[in-house]
Amino acid sequence: MYEMGIFNGIHIKYLLISLVITVLFLVLAYPFNKKKYAKFLGIIILLIKAIDIFIRIYIEKTSVAGVQETAVNALPFHLCNIAIILAGIYLLTENKYLYGIIYSWMYGAFLVMLLPSNFTFITKTYPVLFFLTHTMIIVAVIYGRKYFRHRMNYKMLILSLFAYILASVNAYFVNINLGTNFFYLNGYILPIFAKMFSLNMYRIVFLFLNLSAITLLFLLDRKFIKDETPVTKKN
């Protein structure tokens, strides 16, 4: 049995391996038709997530405490789990509104890559899959921006905010029925929050922080769009 920890050897080693694989997927796009390669990538992303769910249900059945993990914990109701599925569908369909959601939600992937929660695992190479289900979200964003020229707009921002709230409400009721902690609404994401807020107040603060992150990413994208716009000189 192995244990994932923030900046331990396993974290650094498998994150680097996943990043190398991720970069290769992007580099390999150059000689191919970009629309066809996007569909190939979309299928790969959905396959990676399907394999991840299969391994978690049938092989990786232990949690940090050594308790048997039930299948419900592998349901794709966390932020990044939804985002990786949408990323696969986006590359298959080229839908710009899906791009808006995965772009707006990709901060979650960055946070997990840098600060993964502690968990134990049996299959030695499982962390590669774990990190790929996050790095491939970023691949979809880069691909969409570079080859489909998709950019954020206000409709995408509103949709992304609404989708986050809707997914949070769904996670809240799923947590009540199944005893899970999707979207970290049934338990504190970090112990320090337990010392600062009641659970209900924490939920409000956590929602506000996530909606703020989505808005900040939108503003960042708008700045890049402004910088990309050529300045026309007046004669």
Look at residues 54, 140, 146, 58 and name the one whose alpha carbon lies nearest to residue 104. 140
CA pair distance 17, 29, nearest whole angstrom: 19
The pLDDT of residue 228: 66
The model's pLDDT over 20-71, given as tens digits with 9 standing for 90+, comes to 999 999 999 999 999 999 999 999 999 999 999 988 888 876 544 444 456 7
CA pair distance 153, 221, nearest whole angstrom: 9
CB contact at 8 A, 222 and 152: yes
Percentage, residues of the chain above pLDDT 70? 92
Q: Tally Cβ neighbours within 10 Å of residue 76.
A: 16
Residue with structure tokens 């790969």? 44
The pLDDT of residue 10: 92
Look at residues 141, 139, 129 and name the one whose alpha carbon lies nearest to residue 96. 141
pLDDT, the chain, mean: 90
The model's pLDDT over 176-210, given as tens digits with 9 standing for 90+, comes to 998 899 999 999 998 899 999 999 999 999 999 99
Q: Which amino acid is at 36?
A: K
Confidence category of residue 230, pLDDT binned at 50, 70, 90? low
CB contact at 8 A, 132 and 21: yes
Percentage, residues of the chain above pLDDT 90? 74
The pLDDT of residue 231 is above 80: no
CA pair distance 164, 210, nearest whole angstrom: 8
**Residues 225, 227, 228, CA angle at the centre, nearest 5°?**
65
The pLDDT of residue 142 is above 90: yes
Which residues are CB-contacts of 229 (< 8 A; sequence separation ≥ 6)?
none
The pLDDT of residue 69: 54
The pLDDT of residue 48: 95
The pLDDT of residue 64: 42
Could you tell me where the beta strands, DSSP code E, fall in the chain? 2-4, 119-121
The pLDDT of residue 108: 96
CA pair distance 215, 209, nearest whole angstrom: 10
Q: Which amino acid is at 102?
A: I
The pLDDT of residue 172 is above 70: yes
Residue 114, token pair as written in the block: 């840098």
